[in-house]
Structure 1
Amino acid sequence: MYHPYFRGKQFELITIREMATLLAEKNFVPVIEPVREALGGLKKTLGAVCAAGGRAIVVVNPYHGDHQEDGTSITGLLQEGFIGAGNIAAGILLRSDMTVDDVMACYEHHADHHPVLVHAGFTAPKALAAELEDGMPGLTNIFIEDHAKLLYRKHFSQSTRILVRDGFKRLRNADYPEMEEFSDLHVTYGDLGMAGFGDFLIVGDVYSEGGGPAYAVAIHLTFIDPDKDDVMYIYHFVSDTKDTPTDPAGKFAQALAKLIAKLDSGNSHVLETGAIKEFRDLHAKGHFPGLGYVKKLSMKHHIETLADYLG
């Protein structure tokens, strides 16, 4: 059903570990594109997913980060630690620089890890579908919507199809509007002929290694509006101070005060999740846990919101 797409940075992996039980209960399947050379955190995360009885897809040929030239260490991790683990699948990222032969070679190399194809710029869908025809009914295809439009996806209609939409419009923190639409895919994916849907949470598909000092601090919170056909929207709570790289704790306090005021207004539509409880605790204590931790809370809230909606 829901396939959140994570780049495997520290706080993304921690989010998956801390949410492993809920992800498993709801049959949510995280897609993880490892971007850090050290794979200890990924191994620990996959262990937590397995222990909870959940599933995950690990991209073995990442486009971003430390493994973009060579993903053999990721394949090695799957083969050493997760051989026979039917709940951990190898994700093969299909980019514009790959041929059908490249895809099939990678697919066959990972045949014992239930390969899943992640379409993200590939340009020969018809030829690939012809190669995969016999195995199509047992195959899962994940489409990054910006790279795989309707005609492209039709070639794989005999398979299990998942559509991933990037609902997060990345801007400088200082430039975010107070609120904007995020996605309606959690409502409409079935109408589009999909078996499931995904997104890039509150991070977006634009990859960055982690920026410099934050001139403004923004807290991103998603919510589903029952008055607007259950469309998901996103609040951006931005600090008032935006013109200096110093005092992230003070800026976080400004943004958090806006978040709490919105929650307490009674008309926010924000679900009171476990992550919201943590935001309330941080506000009560006047504590700044670091920007990575804040991002983790926003990701957890997003997953908890969809878990509640999808019941």
Structure 2
Amino acid sequence: MLLSSLICSHHFAPGKARKILENFFADQYVKDKFQSDSRKVGVCFRTLIRESLELYLFEKQYETPNGKHFQPLDNLPSDPFFDRQWAQAIIHEAMRRVREICLAEGGSELFECLLDDLSSRSYQERPGTLSLRTRYRNSEKAKHYLLQQLEALLMSTISDPRLVMQEWQALHQILPEAVTLDPEILTQHFLSSQDMSAFWLELQSETVPGLDRTFRALIQGPDTTLAELQKTRQIIKQQNPGSTLPLELLEAMLYTCLAVELLRFKTSISETQRRTLPRGLFWLSKQQWLDPQTRALAAQAEQEIQHLTANG
């Protein structure tokens, strides 16, 4: 990074730049001062190392290629060459660490899920035979590892933990194309309508734990009991949204159960549910990634609850 700065910003020849850095890093005074300054509160190491080099060039009376002496600077201007290499090095090292973590857990599939996510690759376009639920869980786990490693690396370059958000912002400003690494974006999961449809169909074919019946059989079966529907809702609520299933899918499963409860067991709907269900059922009926039968069920349940509300 410093080599790039000397060559690209100060226009030293590569050989000259390497010699300057050799002398710079071998200088005991530079080492001692850097260690002392790095202990100060509020110090950012990527800025400190550049300031140290600029001061070294001034004190050793180096001349620029055009014959001018270096001057001490009160406010060090940004160096796009140095900054970009710093940002790329942080990301490269974080990805290397995450890859090692993923491989240590038993294979490359976990890391490949992360690469697919960062490239916004559709779930249905991804190779392999893993279920969508497993791929989603792998993606969330790998992204969590990446956030951990990025933050750990940024923390290692500052003396004050309170500066970590400043370094996150610097990372994104320097590499705008790395916006997907923003913590707020990285913790979100954007699925296409096609992926959501495939995910929904897969969930319908899964067996509900403890009931030995698929979700589709429970929703469509004429012999489904109220107790089974209520137990299914409890199981759905126990799942951690975002890490096991997308929140929209969990909500769709819950409202589908409630729609069936409403249509078959009208007395099971509480007064609170009568006030809040219409909005949820309306939302369910408008989700184009759901199958037509589920949307029709939601619309029918919405009409039923409106009828019940109107009749007191």
TM-score normalised by the shorter chain: which range applies? under 0.3
Q: TM-score, normalised by structure 2?
A: 0.24
Q: More strand per residue: 1 or 2?
A: 1
Which structure would you say has the larger Rg?
A: 2
